[in-house]
Structure 1
Amino acid sequence: MGTYFQTVEFGASKLARWIIRHRWAAICFSLALAIVVGSGASQLEFSTNYRVFFSSANPELQAFENLQNTYAKNDNFLFVIVTKQGRVFDPQTLLAVEELTERAWKIPYAIRVDSITNFQYSYARGDDLVVEDLISKPAERPVAYLRSREQIAMDEPLLRNQLLSPDGLATAVNVVLQYPEVGHMEVPESVSVAREIRDALAKNYPGMDFHITGVSMLNNAFAETGMLDGQTLIPIMFGLIFLAVWMVLRSLVGSLVVFSVITLSTVVAMGYAGFIGIKLTPISMSAPIIVLTLAIADSIHILISYRGLMREGMNKIDALVEAVRVNFLPVTITSLTTIVGFLMLNFSDSPPYWHLGNMTAVGIGSAWFYSLVLIPALFSMLRYSAAENSDALRSQRWMESFANFVIARRKPLLVAISLGTAMLVSFIPQLNFNDQWVKYFDESIEFRRDSDSAQQYFGLYPIEFSVPAMGPGGISEPEYLHNLEDFADFLRGQKIVSHVYSISDIMKRLNRNMHRDQSDYYRIPNDRELSAQYLLLYELSLPYGLDLNDRINIDKSASRITATLDRSGTDEAKAFFVATQNWQTQHWPKYMRAEPTSASVMFTYIAQRNFDNMIIGTALGIGAIAIIMMLSLRSFGLGLLSLIPNSLPILAAFGAWALLVGEVGFSVATVASISLGIVVDDTVHFLAKYLRGRRERGLSREDAIRYAFQSVGHAIIVNTVILSLGFLVLYSSAFKLNADLGLMTLLSINFALILDFLLLPALLLLKTEKKSSLDRVSLISGDTETN
């Protein structure tokens, strides 16, 4: 072996013997490190604000915050009441709506409640303008009164499709909240009261279904889903890993040691997150599952080598030292490349992925440390039997047979695997971006079920436009109001728009009111002063909490138009945004033009923005990993060659995803970086053993490949199975972004196994008849090649 490898392995042997001699000190230090760093986990809190998914530099977030600083915030609960029999304007249903409206004011941080009962209906009484609740005391009203009010509501553009379904079978109560944002329990506190109100009404009015959706329920669903995953998936993962390790090692002692390594690694990762102030989300809560899954790899390689060496007759201490020596470089390279892959998540446009990447990187680094320290320290003082068994013999024979198969059929395999991979990759252009935040949760989550039910009657995706006027008071200009009216008509003509809210509709109603409710006057006033007087008179008549501050800014130099979409697929939404901008360019003066903004706009663009950013991150990750491979293996050729089996699994996984699913959300953009750091592990271990066979044992390329399969093939399969189990658990998450991440990574891992076992050996044997220029580059000074 060359000086470099001899130096590294000599140092690894010295380290292992030092740890074994000072095992109690090593064990105490390891535990103390976990206790000190892990104590930070007590500071962890769940985020209850969907804005955490967007970086402060995100332009869509900045635009939305500007809107909310101008008008009232739109954190809300949307209660939807669906009648099982009868109609909304039956006395019993109206009584429920009235009670819900009154009780909703008592929800913590509520600043506004809108319903069909307290809608501010205006009409003329002589020369006076009367503004009052559309319906009051419904139980005392005659049927004729209720029917007339129903007709008014159905004709009112601010109610129909917004708080009243066109079929009259469902109505909504919208509660706007203003959180002080000083504590993490504000949203859960409000949600708890909202659910109490919902449950009480459902009990008192059994003939109706009550659903709650809205931004506050979305925020709460993120926290609840993260906690649910933590309470269910993490224990499942612990159990599966313990079972898998026991089945491989057939040793309770060995299983407990590995369990200790992964547990301490996870504790350190979570403690780190607490100390630096990470807010937990469903995405960052997947870090413990990923750490549990990945942390086991180093231990498995060391222990399988240790078990094999003891079966060959080595004593326990020498076997431990040798196992650390031969695995030190591969586990160090794989840990480093995995860390690099996860650190590339910092290029994401979504902070939870930064947190996931950094937490996992810390966990992987901790697993490397604990594997090299705790395994020699603990096994040196514990009894462990590594008696030969038939399963081990069968596994060794099978790997030898498989190696012979691959060597004998290398050319057909090279062609078949290359063509198959190319075919999968060809489907990637068919992938479409599509994100809908309601569908981030599966049907087991209450928010998803309630939102799906509410969406049968009302749109859930508001798109906001803050439209400037020509200076203070300019919203009363007839030209401005006419332009608003034209834009509202355009929006209502769009297929995906279910409702439009514009002050132009209020001004037309007021103009009709002030002309004795004559229908001919349902139009925009032609005089600015007249419009301003109507608006002032109307505002003075509105009760507290139902003013127009959510529609008009303070100096009346801008107003807000809201278009509510009944669906918000990414492509449809983007086409809608382009259409609105084109319409404004053609029909509005430049000073009025407004960009669309809202949470829906933010989620629409996050997938593309995340994908664009992660292309840079993944490219840098590939370059960094290639350099690490070249330097660590002391081979430019093998480092370059490793890019093929390391990058193709990810591309193949995206192609398979195009066939299986066809759509990607913003979570899938991070898969390439995550998978890159994981799939390289198999390649590193295979190439490390191949080089050991060439350099240390003087084997031919064919025999070196056989040696690699026999010495590390079983461990690679075991790790692939365990990784697959881990990401299969993540795939079962109730949070779609985690489920997509789990399934995509699962595909990448298994494609990596196929390519490393079938394609990589064929690439290494491309020039089997004579010396390979690749091998000549890979052999360092003093090495010779044996054919």
Structure 2
Amino acid sequence: MVTMSEAAMSRPGRAMGLAAFLSVVLIALTAVPSIWPQAVPALHGLKIDTDPENMLADDEPVRLFHNRMKAAFSLNDLIVVGVVQEDHPQGVFNPKTLGEVYRLSQAAETLTWDEEDGPAGVIAADIIAPDKVDNIDQAGLGSVSFNWLMPAAPETPEAAQAVRDKALALPMLDDTLVSGDGRALALYIPIREKNDSYRVAAALRDRIAGFDSDATYHITGLPIAQDQFGVEMFKQMAISAPAAMALILLLMWLFFRNLNLVLSPMVVAMVSVIGAMGLLIATGQTVHIMSSMIPIFVMPIAVLDAVHILSDFHDRYPQIGDRRKTVRAVMEELWRPMLFTTLTTAAGFASLAITPIPPVQVFGIFVALGVIFAWAATVTLVPAYIALMPERAFERFRRDAADVAAHPEHIGWLGRLLQGVGGVAYRRARLVLALFVAAVAVAGYGISLIAINDNPVKWFRADHEIRVADRALNERFGGTYMAYLHLGAAEPRTVASVAGDLRERLAALDSAPARRLAERLDQQTETATDPQALLDDLAGWVADAQAAAGDADWQAWEDAAMAVERAAQAGDVFKDPAVLRYVAQLQAALEARDDVGKTNALPDIVKTVHRELLGGEDQAFRIPDSAGGVAQTLITFQNSHRPQDLFKLVTPDYRQAVVWLQLTSGDNAHMRAVVDATEAYMAQNPPPRALDHDWFGLTYINVVWQEKMVAGMAKALTGGFVAVLILMTLLFRSPLWGLLSMVPLTVTIALIYGVIGLVGKAYDMPVAVLSSLSLGLAVDYAIHFNVRSRQIQQRLGDWHAALTHVFGEPARAIARNVIVIGAGFTPLLAAPLVPYQTVGALISAILVCAGIATLIGLPALITLFRRWLFADAPASQPAQRRA
């Protein structure tokens, strides 16, 4: 490393020019595919993905099942448009507001466009809005009429109120389309792809802007939150990162009072970020929610070593008087700790590659690369930058040193503070150790309180329009978070099972037609491959035989035909009244929970149509007693304007069904509680027929990927911790010094996560990933402190005397880093995106905790165990030459 620095100082212009050239090349490579796609096919342009579904691998079973079920039931992601009107006596159900709703619905179905890969935007046929759904009403005994709920915008208050009353009478619309108090209604806009949501929402907002009623319009839903986050994510990157760098620059200037000199860490940070992000984009990796934060993580790490160099240079230059010789002396002393801090930090982030979450893997790998780029840039560009500066630029360092020499009391507030800290750590070592043990014990209790939870909508600040819409609509409706419970026949419907069932039915008839049909069944079974085709063939054969037999055996053939029909119906699990009653009971159990606002399933359609078939009386709102009665309701419903809605709840073979759940919260903890409650209910109340069940939907997928992330992060943290310990042991050639170096890291992680548990902050994605940053930053200070302590102890031979020197320049460099980087990232606290706020707060907290643990905890421990720690120091760590 010293050789690299020497070479950079010898040809500083070449070093700076090479860094600039490589940066420009990386930027150009990322732009080439956008400007000239055929230029270099191996290169890739910028690709953005904010879909949490892609936190899971493409072949993840839950993701495959989710997509398979969406296709089976023709389900799509939804944008929810809520309309609320509190002040009007009729709520939203007045002619003016319903006229706006009607126009908005009509406009929504036009929001389709053609993309290269096919149509995009809104799926017009599946919009759920007052003018797009049926009112189901009785039309005389045994007859049902289907008319549009709102065929046109109502012109009178009475007509508007009629829309509300009709909707409230339909269980599928009550608390879904219309709020129970009549003050609000919701439109559900299905979209083909989640990344269509931002454009669709923007078009809807443009139309809403032209309305002049007093109603308030809200747009929300998980697709909106995810797409909106992607848009704001890049705005935030463009604001927060420069703001953080500007504050870091100001703080470094306050310490060193040399603007030209403190620009060098900014150059290092810029080159490192360009290197990491340029490679990310050029190699075809997607900029996901995680990878958008790579610059925020690389910047503080890139500045750390540069501040150590500048701090040591600042203190040594007055003694040496030549910038090149000073840089050489600084690099000879710092090369070992800087190399190992780079390796440990890179190892901490690279450990994320073993998590089962692809975007986290990419994040960890490219931050690790950014750390390595930062090391290379630091050891070359900082010396080169200093070499390009004239000697007169450092005269202030001489004057400051002369002033301190003449007036020791002028060492400044930081110097005085550090001298006091060093004295306390030496004299009160046992007390310091006891306080650290007590703090870790309290932190352990806090860690036990940590709740694992996340919610993409909560990635926005509480006053963001998406959060406001989320609260407003979930207070009034069954919920805007969709989850789906799949129910399916546990026993597969095979040719053998169908044939066996039909043989039993024919044997019970004991008639000549039944025996002839059984013979036909045996013949056909030998070649049949599809059970439904076999039954269709037998039904046709029976019809022909019955027609040929005449009146003599008509009834016997009719019985045989009924046996075939019942064998066919036996496979229609979700025409079985007992099964439908069970599903209805399960719905009731789920709706009794506070976190489930509403469910919709096949029994709701069956009971509603049955009620209207029997004259609209309340007592007829039930499941029919026979499979034939159920079939009649289903056939009747298929005469509606939206027959496709039936098959969003059940498959055409009636062997799979889905329960739609509207949740009032998108928190993973609430979704997990619903899943657990469902498992418990079905275990305690077995269904009348064997049913398999599983979950899908975005709300459930968020639970799965976060649970995988938590388990993966725990594994990565453990692996990273072990890797860092091994590196520490190799660095110091002593297991004891290796363990000592892990103390600040261990204390920092314990305290940070302990406080998170104590204050009730959820363990979410940013919190989980920041554990890797703890590995790098916390051990950085320990390495510098321990290496310099051993060097000075070997030179002086007395720990007390050495401690005074350690709390000079080495401790000042650490303290300056804590202040500069810790305060430098506070601008992130003002970000409108909560993950950025979390990152800003925790980076600052990690640095402060690591700094305190290093500057107070390590000297106290060394003081208490110095007899063992320094017993083999000369053998394990030869003294370094000092200039």
TM-score normalised by length of structure 1: 0.91
Note if 1:595 corresponds to 2:715: no
Q: Within 2, Cα distance between the matches of 1:781 and 1:758?
A: 25
Q: Within 1, Cα distance between the matches of 2:611 and 2:418?
A: 86
More off after superposition, 44-53 vs 634-643: 44-53
What residue identity is the alignment partner of 2:100?
A
Q: CA RMSD in A?
A: 2.6
Residue 371 of structure 1: how far off its partner (Å): 0.9
Q: Within 2, Cα distance between the matches of 1:21 and 1:439?
A: 53
What residue identity is the alignment partner of 2:205?
R
More off after superposition, 383-392 vs 676-685: 383-392
Taking the TM superposition and a 5 Å limit, the aligned residue runs for 1:231-310 are: 231-310=238-317
Q: Within 1, Cα distance between the matches of 2:246 and 2:160?
A: 61
Give the one of 208, 213, 236 matched to 2:215.
208
> Do 1:463 and 1:597's aligned partners in 2 also have CA atoms closer than 8 Å?
yes
Note if 1:387 corresponds to 2:402: no
> Do 1:41 and 1:270's aligned partners in 2 also have CA atoms closer than 8 Å?
no
Counterpart of 2:665 in structure 1 is 567
Q: 1:608–1:49: structure 2 CA closer, same or farther, 3 Å change rule?
A: closer
Counterpart of 1:3 in structure 2 is none
Note if 1:366 corresponds to 2:377: no
Counterpart of 1:465 in structure 2 is 485
Note if 1:483 corresponds to 2:582: yes
Counterpart of 1:704 in structure 2 is 802
Counterpart of 1:8 in structure 2 is none
SS at match of 1:411: helix
Residue 639 of structure 1: how far off its partner (Å): 0.7
Taking the TM superposition and a 5 Å limit, the aligned residue runs for 1:290-439 are: 290-383=297-390, 384-385=393-394, 386-389=397-400, 393-394=411-412, 395-396=414-415, 398-439=417-458
Residue 324 of structure 1: how far off its partner (Å): 1.5
SS at match of 2:130: coil
Note if 1:25 corresponds to 2:14: yes
Q: Within 1, Cα distance between the matches of 2:303 and 2:411?
A: 23
Q: Within 1, Cα distance between the matches of 2:480 and 2:718?
A: 38
More off after superposition, 157-166 vs 12-21: 12-21
Q: 1:494–1:426: structure 2 CA closer, same or farther, 3 Å change rule?
A: closer
What residue identity is the alignment partner of 1:85?
H
What residue identity is the alignment partner of 2:122?
A
SS at match of 1:578: helix
Note if 1:496 corresponds to 2:595: yes
Q: Within 1, Cα distance between the matches of 2:726 and 2:679?
A: 46
Note if 1:139 corresponds to 2:154: yes
Q: 1:635–1:564: structure 2 CA closer, same or farther, 3 Å change rule?
A: same
Counterpart of 1:37 in structure 2 is 26
Note if 1:684 corresponds to 2:783: yes
Q: Within 2, Cα distance between the matches of 1:151 and 1:332?
A: 73
Q: Within 2, Cα distance between the matches of 1:781 and 1:97?
A: 79
Q: Within 2, Cα distance between the matches of 1:341 and 1:196?
A: 47
Counterpart of 2:145 in structure 1 is 130
SS at match of 1:206: coil
> Do 1:60 and 1:601's aligned partners in 2 also have CA atoms closer than 8 Å?
no
Residue 278 of structure 1: how far off its partner (Å): 2.7
Q: Within 2, Cα distance between the matches of 1:679 and 1:78?
A: 45
What residue identity is the alignment partner of 1:134?
L
Give the one of 207, 218, 228 matched to 2:225.
218
Give the one of 90, 94, 97 matched to 2:94.
90
Q: Within 1, Cα distance between the matches of 2:874 and 2:56?
A: 49
Residue 751 of structure 1: how far off its partner (Å): 1.4
> Do 2:245 and 2:824's aligned partners in 1 also have CA atoms closer than 8 Å?
no
Q: Within 2, Cα distance between the matches of 1:146 and 1:402?
A: 75
More off after superposition, 66-75 vs 674-683: 66-75
Q: Within 2, Cα distance between the matches of 1:51 and 1:599?
A: 7
Counterpart of 2:530 in structure 1 is none
Note if 1:118 corresponds to 2:213: no
Residue 543 of structure 1: how far off its partner (Å): 4.4
Q: 1:416–1:430: structure 2 CA closer, same or farther, 3 Å change rule?
A: same
Residue 401 of structure 1: how far off its partner (Å): 4.6
What residue identity is the alignment partner of 1:417?
F
Runs (5+) with no aligned partner, structure 1:
1-11
The Cα offsets for residues 275-298 of structure 1, whole Å up to 9 and x where unpaired, read as: 222322343222212222221111
Q: Within 2, Cα distance between the matches of 1:279 and 1:341?
A: 22
Q: 1:656–1:298: structure 2 CA closer, same or farther, 3 Å change rule?
A: same
> Do 1:261 and 1:370's aligned partners in 2 also have CA atoms closer than 8 Å?
yes
What residue identity is the alignment partner of 2:874?
L
Give the one of 64, 87, 96 matched to 2:66.
64
Aligned residues: 761
> Do 1:303 and 1:323's aligned partners in 2 also have CA atoms closer than 8 Å?
no
What residue identity is the alignment partner of 1:19?
A
What residue identity is the alignment partner of 1:110?
V
Residue 561 of structure 1: how far off its partner (Å): 0.8
> Do 1:265 and 1:295's aligned partners in 2 also have CA atoms closer than 8 Å?
yes
Residue 120 of structure 1: how far off its partner (Å): 1.2
> Do 1:262 and 1:291's aligned partners in 2 also have CA atoms closer than 8 Å?
yes
Note if 1:441 corresponds to 2:460: yes
The Cα offsets for residues 339-397 of structure 1, whole Å up to 9 and x where unpaired, read as: 11122233444433333323322222111111111112221122231333258833545
> Do 2:178 and 2:184's aligned partners in 1 also have CA atoms closer than 8 Å?
yes
Residue 571 of structure 1: how far off its partner (Å): 4.3
Q: 1:739–1:449: structure 2 CA closer, same or farther, 3 Å change rule?
A: same
> Do 1:462 and 1:598's aligned partners in 2 also have CA atoms closer than 8 Å?
yes
More off after superposition, 548-557 vs 614-623: 548-557
Counterpart of 2:180 in structure 1 is 166
Counterpart of 1:4 in structure 2 is none
Q: Within 2, Cα distance between the matches of 1:187 and 1:155?
A: 31
SS at match of 1:210: strand
> Do 1:50 and 1:218's aligned partners in 2 also have CA atoms closer than 8 Å?
no
Note if 1:620 corresponds to 2:634: no
SS at match of 1:433: coil
> Do 2:222 and 2:481's aligned partners in 1 also have CA atoms closer than 8 Å?
no
Q: Within 2, Cα distance between the matches of 1:26 and 1:610?
A: 41
Taking the TM superposition and a 5 Å limit, the aligned residue runs for 1:576-595 are: 576-585=674-683, 586-589=685-688, 591-595=690-694
> Do 2:281 and 2:287's aligned partners in 1 also have CA atoms closer than 8 Å?
no
Q: Within 1, Cα distance between the matches of 2:825 and 2:62?
A: 32
Residue 304 of structure 1: how far off its partner (Å): 1.6
The Cα offsets for residues 633-691 of structure 1, whole Å up to 9 and x where unpaired, read as: 22222112112222111101112222223532243222322211111111010011012
SS at match of 1:553: coil
Give the one of 183, 191, 207 matched to 1:197.
207
What residue identity is the alignment partner of 2:150?
I
Residue 33 of structure 1: how far off its partner (Å): 2.2
SS at match of 1:495: coil
Residue 300 of structure 1: how far off its partner (Å): 1.0
> Do 2:168 and 2:174's aligned partners in 1 also have CA atoms closer than 8 Å?
yes
SS at match of 2:399: coil
> Do 2:53 and 2:701's aligned partners in 1 also have CA atoms closer than 8 Å?
no
Q: 1:314–1:148: structure 2 CA closer, same or farther, 3 Å change rule?
A: closer
TM-score normalised by length of structure 2: 0.81
The Cα offsets for residues 415-449 of structure 1, whole Å up to 9 and x where unpaired, read as: 23332333333332122223333222113533222
Q: 1:89–1:404: structure 2 CA closer, same or farther, 3 Å change rule?
A: closer
What residue identity is the alignment partner of 1:512?
R
> Do 1:290 and 1:726's aligned partners in 2 also have CA atoms closer than 8 Å?
no
Q: Within 2, Cα distance between the matches of 1:324 and 1:365?
A: 17
Give the one of 472, 475, 480 matched to 1:456.
475
Residue 225 of structure 1: how far off its partner (Å): 2.8
Give the one of 37, 46, 49 matched to 2:48.
46
Q: Within 2, Cα distance between the matches of 1:295 and 1:335?
A: 10
Q: Within 2, Cα distance between the matches of 1:300 and 1:494?
A: 55
Q: Within 2, Cα distance between the matches of 1:726 and 1:63?
A: 45
SS at match of 2:147: strand
Counterpart of 2:836 in structure 1 is 738
Q: Within 1, Cα distance between the matches of 2:161 and 2:258?
A: 77
